[in-house]
Amino acid sequence: MNTRIIFSSFFVAIVAVWGCVPQTTKSPASMNKSIETRYQLGINYIAEGRTPEAIKELQEVLATAPDNPDVNHALGLAYQQKGLYDKAIEQYTKSLKLDPKLTEARNNLGTAFLAKGNFNQALAEFTECLKDGNYSTPEKAAYNMAFAYYNKKDLDKAIEYYQKAVDLRQDNVNALYNLAFCQEEKKLYPAALENYLKVIRLDPAFKDAYYQVGAIYAQDKDKTRALLYLKKAAERDPSNIRGLLELGKVQIESGNRDEALKNLGTVAAADANGEMGNEARALLDQHKKDDKFKGIPKVSVR
């Protein structure tokens, strides 16, 4: 494999952390029916993204049941959804003091530390999550640990824990994609390619994987497969100008010049002042003097 690194912004577009939304109380006896109903309503608001309503409901529930760990946990999650990370951490911490075995709250505490950039504190919480043999979704903690290590620029550990997340849940396409991305950054191209292709097989609508596969084939000089996957990427996401740039470059090399100039023109216009736009304009300008563009009408890009 050619060792040129493909730079991509797709990684940060993937869900960065994996939180836990509480579904039921662990101590329903501490709530009367009315309070439990409002608690469940607050959880539903969280799941629907109706954060202000969730905070209001859960604050009122907490006033009645201040020592219920699940209420504290749920209110912490609502605060986190609002971006109030310090308040979220306070509620998660109180929840865990009330019930140290509430591992869902510990995972969410770790994600709040992640959001604040406190990666070591986050890792400590996720490590504790993975020690809990009764935790029903350990793949979430493994996934979040990987993301923390990625942000600490420890690719080896990121790969280790994304692989663990995949092993724990085989259909976890986000973990599989991020695993492939980290492998690509480590120049482990065959492994990265295999995992990107697995993502596509598991989820044909996962558009970013098509670009990554096409880019790897392009750098490996496999023009036929590169064109196939880069075209699929463009069909699924026409706004992906990086994908269109790569597609245009492969089309030039393959002799598909009309299509190449069209795609490069789109990139140049869409990224007028950017690096990709400049690269596209440089390629477009070559047709004025490069014999391989002879006979192709001049393209004007404003």
- pTM over cut 0.75: yes
pLDDT tens track for 14-55: 445 666 666 554 445 556 777 888 999 999 999 999 999 999
Tokens of 22: 């509480």
* Spatial contact of 257 and 263, defined as CB atoms under 8 Å apart: no
Q: Which amino acid is at 120?
A: N
Name the one residue in this structure whose structure tokens are 């994908």.
243
Mean pLDDT of 253-262: 89
Token digits of residue 55: 């905070």
* Tens digits of residue pLDDT in 100-133: 999 999 999 999 999 999 999 999 999 999 999 9
pLDDT at 189: 96
Distance CA 180, CA 189 (A): 9
Check if the beta carbon of residue 126 is closer than 8 Å to that of residue 96. no
In this structure, of 22-26, 94-98, 172-176, 222-226, the range with the lowest mean pLDDT score is 22-26
What pLDDT does 257 receive?
A: 85
